[in-house]
Structure 1
Amino acid sequence: MANVYGYIRVSTKEQNEQRQLNKMIDKGVEARRIFVDKASGKDFNRPQYQTLRRVLGEGDLVYIDALDRMGRNYDEVISEWKYITRELQADIIVLENETLFDSRKFREMGDMGRLMEDQFLSLLSYVADQERKKIRQRQAEGIAAAKAQNKHLGRPQLNVDTLSEEQRKILNDNYNRWKEKEITGVQFAALLNLKKNSFYKIVKQYEESTN
């Protein structure tokens, strides 16, 4: 008897898979037949995907929310798609666009359907590859532009000048109290909302600027 499965992938542990899970349940997929990976889509070395691959059989059906949930390396996506639909004789439906991504429709068309499926997947691979190149180019251009303008990439450097107006007032009002041991360093740092290392760095800069 054919089985219906669902495959879910989110890129990080912080991302929530609930939206994809709801879609699978709405399609009637049993919870025990839904496989979830929290991993990058750069390749298919994912434990739950590999388990799904092993249990799939002829006539089975796999639901995937979107093609990039299957993977982001589209040459490998095409290879996996063909393995599942042609070697295993199972089927795939991509919920994001069921009209186009339903392998059963290509199968029903016989040899002509296989030819159309090959062309469709090749076109998809080309478009995805071009998009990846554009993204990499935009990232490289952004980094180059930031470097050219002498911008710091990442968090702003903490110094006296980057303190808020309120923090600078607290620093001015309480510096002498701290030096005269009316308050401790821990208390002073808490007033400034700074961690220990940041506090001593700021105090040193403040002393240098006022001497």
Structure 2
Amino acid sequence: MTETKTFGYVRVSTKEQNTDRQIVVMQKLGINERDIFIDKASGKDFDRPQYQALKAQLRKGDLVYIVSLDRLGRNSDAIKKEWNEITTEIGADIVVTDMELLDTRKYKDTMGNFVANLVLEVLTFMAQSEREKTLARQAEGIAVAKAQGKHLGRPQLNIKTLTKQQRGDLEANFRAWETKELTGVQFMEILGLKKNSFYKITKEYKETIQ
């Protein structure tokens, strides 16, 4: 008989977010560190490397712990599809630690399944609704910033944003580059700029000295 295994799945949305709280929960459950799968990725879908690695290892009778349902994902239909694949097609169990009713080990009868499925429906709906609200707030923030003329994303590179060293190197080597004594690649390396930024800066500088 194949030995069953216990796994933990941890997810945060960005690389900057901390996974410690979820990992501590898994460790208190006695899950071995090598059996805790961690993704730092959006919950919009299940195209996540560690989740897919976990799923590939699951066998009938195995157990997966998740701290909360939204750590599994935030798309209602996708969550239910994955839940069904793990519990029905693979035959593993899932325990959501912050929701007692979402423990597939306990509810095997008809009424138990009905209650658990109802809770799953409600929670997946809430997870997706929260994601949609977050996206709406982000879109609203972007629209306001654009209306106010604020630049979004990385600061735009121009002569004024160059360092004192870069400005000096630009002034000292520009003529040599124009007369082809210095190649574009060499000049880029001196300035520490990538191709698009290099041509933007040199064009701007040329306009200032004409």
Task: Give the structure-1-normalised TM-score.
Answer: 0.62
Q: 1:129 and 1:189, CA in 2 relative to 1: closer, same or farther beyond 3 A? A: closer
AA of the residue aligned to 1:121: L
Distance 1:152 1:194 in 2: 21
Equivalent pair of 1:10/1:37 in contact (CA under 8 Å):
yes
The residue correspondences of 1:3-152 to structure 2 (distance < 5 A) are 3-6=4-7, 8=9, 27=29, 41-43=43-45, 48=53, 51-52=56-57, 55-57=59-61, 60-64=62-66, 66-81=68-83, 84-85=86-87, 90-95=92-97, 97=98, 99=100, 101-104=102-105, 106-107=106-107, 110-152=109-151
Distance 1:180 1:32 in 2: 58
Distance 1:90 1:200 in 2: 57
Equivalent pair of 1:8/1:35 in contact (CA under 8 Å):
yes
1:124 deviation in Å?
0.9
Distance 1:167 1:50 in 2: 50
Structure 1 portions without partners, runs of 5+: none
Structure 2 portions without partners, runs of 5+: none
AA of the residue aligned to 2:74: R
1:188 deviation in Å?
4.7
Equivalent pair of 1:6/1:64 in contact (CA under 8 Å):
no
Deviations along 1:116-144, whole A, 9 cap, x unmatched? Answer: 32332232123212202211211221232
Secondary structure of the corresponding residue to residue 132 of structure 2: helix
Distance 1:150 1:36 in 2: 39
What is the aligned-residue RMSD (CA, Å)? 4.6
Secondary structure of the corresponding residue to residue 158 of structure 1: coil
1:73 deviation in Å?
2.0
Larger gyration radius, structure 1 or structure 2: 1
Equivalent pair of 1:37/1:47 in contact (CA under 8 Å):
no
1:80 deviation in Å?
4.0
Q: 1:35 and 1:150, CA in 2 relative to 1: closer, same or farther beyond 3 A? A: closer
Distance 2:45 2:36 in 1: 20
